[in-house]
Amino acid sequence: MQSVCVACRFKGETPPEAAEVLRQLQPQKPPLSGIFNIDKPAGVTSHDVVQAIRRASGERRVGHAGTLDPMATGVLLVCVGKATRVTEYLMEHAKSYRAEITLGVSTDTLDAEGEVTHRADTVDVSRGEAEAALGTFVGQIEQIPPMYSAVRKAGKRLYELAREGVTVEREPRAVETTRLEVVEWNPPHVTVEIDCSKGTYVRAVARDLGELLGVGAHLSGLIRTASGRFTVGEANELETVVEALVDDWWMLLIHPLDEALLDYEAMIVDAATAQKICHGQRIEAPAPVDAPYARAYSEDGRFIALMRYEEWAQKWQPNKVFAEAS
């Protein structure tokens, strides 16, 4: 069972017209809860976006599902209300990026906002050489996090140490890239598209490419084009979401929280079983085929809970309950 964003039903209509139709269909305004797919503007932090949504909505429970650097744009998923409880699942999703890498210049932050630490006299690199080098980063790889990152070391964020002028040894982290393709070649600028796992630093890819080619490099532009099933083509501008919250037509833009969980199987349960789930009780149902989680829905289509299969009991245990007992 797949939830559908209500905004899709009103494409082509202006927000006020669509909002009026929605008010007629739903005379009682639903509680503010769900996921906003926002195209983060350049020059602001992910925290700035969260704060803007919090101010506009008056809702205290607001969080994002995966930081974007200030210079980056693209998909930033902002969870509001009960949907903050599914942030961790959104963060697990694979990500896609379109990145511009500038060869021949290295910086301390590994991007265009840092101080230049190296400048090559010449950049004599062919497209074939760049593509061959990038090919070594496809698959399961070990990646050293940048010093300017939120990774913790000895109780401090690495970026805090970096701002104090301290450089520390970082442990490599296992990440995975499933696609890394050159889509534009305009040396010294090379634009690549990358599909990767959570925790992958595209800045580190730029650094490692420059080192492998022997000329240095930094990330000069970045767009997150997708986070799981959420794409930048369907994202809304921050100003639009803020306006929708202030003028009370946000329900046309928000995605239901169970869209974070659509990779899991779904089960539809009867009223008595739904009551048990709402009270945190285990239920009997067929064992899962793939993942140990499943979405539970009532017969009338209400999303009830995320369930976890417990092998030892051979029953499903409510992992997170989102509906109230009726």
User: Which amino acid, residue 60?
Assistant: R
User: Is the distance from CB of 215 to CB of 203 less than 8 angstroms?
Assistant: no
Q: Which residues pair with 186 in a beta bridge?
A: 189
Contacts of 325 (CB under 8 A, 6+ apart): 275, 278, 279
Strand, coil or helix: what is 24?
A: helix
Q: Which of 140, 146, 209 is nearest to 174 (CA)?
A: 140
Q: Which residues pair with 76 in a beta bridge?
A: 38
Asked if omega into 188 is within 30° of 0 (cis), the reply is yes
Q: Which residues pair with 196 in a beta bridge?
A: 95, 177
Catalytic residue annotation: 69
27-47 as b/e: b if 16+ CB within 10 A:
eeeeebbbbbbbbbbeebebe
User: Is the distance from CB of 81 to CB of 34 less than 8 angstroms?
Assistant: yes
Rg over CA atoms, the chain: 23
Residues in the chain: 326
Q: How far apart are CA 316 and CA 307, in angstroms?
A: 6
Q: How far apart are CA 31 and CA 21, in angstroms?
A: 18
Token pair belonging to 17 = 């017209």
DSSP 38-77: EEEPTTS-HHHHHHHHHHHH--S-EEESS---TT-EEEEE
